[in-house]
């Protein structure tokens, strides 16, 4: 696969800018002119359920508090991002 600095690979760019956008519009998740994302980056969130795209802020904050004990990565910014919403 060909490397792509913004999306990781050209295949990821094709999927993100193509079928992902089409599906999000069909599901009413984005409107015409909006995009779901512009790269392959991101971070984990906990949603309200397996079919939901609504972030559960408390559960996400608790998730990062829990993994902060086990990971060498700095997750404090994510805890702060979600704990007071």
| Residue-wise pLDDT tens digits, 23-75 | 999 999 999 999 999 998 888 999 999 999 899 999 999 999 999 888 888 88
pLDDT, residue 54, reads: 93
Work out the number of other CB atoms within 10 angstroms of the CB of residue 46.
17
pLDDT band, very low/low/confident/very high, at 2 (cuts 50, 70, 90)? confident
pTM: 0.64
Please check whether residue 79 is in contact with residue 57, taking contact to mean a CB–CB distance below 8 angstroms. no
Three-state helix/strand/coil letters over 13-30? HHHHHCHHHHHHHHCCCC
pLDDT, residue 83, reads: 87
79: left (phi over 0), alpha (psi -120 to 50) or beta: alpha
Work out the number of other CB atoms within 10 angstroms of the CB of residue 6.
11
């Amino acid at each position: 696969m060909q490397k792509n600095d913004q999306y990781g690979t050209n295949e990821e760019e094709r999927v993100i800018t193509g079928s992902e956008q089409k599906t999000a519009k069909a599901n009413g998740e984005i409107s015409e002119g909006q995009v779901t994302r512009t790269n392959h980056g991101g971070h984990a969130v906990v949603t309200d359920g397996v079919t939901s795209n609504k972030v559960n802020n408390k559960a996400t904050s608790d998730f990062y508090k829990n993994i902060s004990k086990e990971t060498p990565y700095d997750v404090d910014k994510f805890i702060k991002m979600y704990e007071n919403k």
